[in-house]
Amino acid sequence: MAARFEGKRGLVLGVANKRSIAWAIAQRLAAEGAELAFTFQGERIERSVRDLAATVDSPLVTSCDVRSDEELERVFGEVAERFDGGLDLLVHSVAYAAAEDLEGRFVDTPRERFWLAVDVSAYSLVAAARAAEPLFEARGGGSIVTMTYLGGERAVPHYNVMGVAKATLDASVRYLAWDLGEQNVRVNAVSAGPVRTLAARSIAGFPTMEAIVEERAPLHRHISADDVGAAAAFLLSDEAANVTGTTFYVDSGFHSMGM
């Protein structure tokens, strides 16, 4: 495999375990030469993230609460210290909504949990991009990839407030692409079909989502985290040098169907 990321340095936000989409992306980047730092949220998954990061010889694994600007400033300070002041790649695979808001009616979402979902799932990209900007500038540019889903464009039963958060994320990608383009920083999103991750388990009716995609998508098959990793690696690579502000669909073509 060609070493597209030889000499590149990246930060991965959002690995929880070996089934995480963020981990599939990280494996692909590391296999092609990237040096990667990782963050984790909370002691519960710290050991898992540290163990995975060790398999790709990560020089930095640190905690991060993406709701805190101070935490993000500390994290990117640590990244700058470890990576000689520069950064080439940023993977944002962070999302959260309360489990009870992914099984009832969207209209019943309380105000505080609405803003929690938007803060963690969408604003965290904005905050991370702002913190990363000077590190990208030090390297003459860079690339950001985030994870979105069709539920931000269309109503998906039970996806509820997470769909609203993803819609906010999608718009943020476009505005960040405009703001950061002058610094040669590209910002894109991958919209994946249903993948069996830890986060997916919290969505009521997830098996039904999988079955519908298999039935109605043009390719009539599921996707894997590795499929998403390959797409994200392309968007992060120099092969996508003129691709920014876009959403790249990896869903067996389901997004293209009307019924």
Catalytically annotated residues: 149, 159
Distance CA 125, CA 145 (A): 10
3 state SS of 115: helix
Burial of 94 by CB count in 10 Å (0-12 exposed, 13-18 middle, 19+ buried)? buried
Of 195, 170, 167, the closest CA to residue 20 belongs to 195
Q: Which residues pair with 212 in a beta bridge?
A: none
Residue pair 52/24 in contact by the 8 Å Cβ criterion: no
DSSP 120: I
Q: How far apart are CA 36 and CA 23, in angstroms?
A: 11
Bridge partners of 12, per DSSP, are 38, 91
Listed residue (38, 139, 161) closest to 93, CA to CA:
38
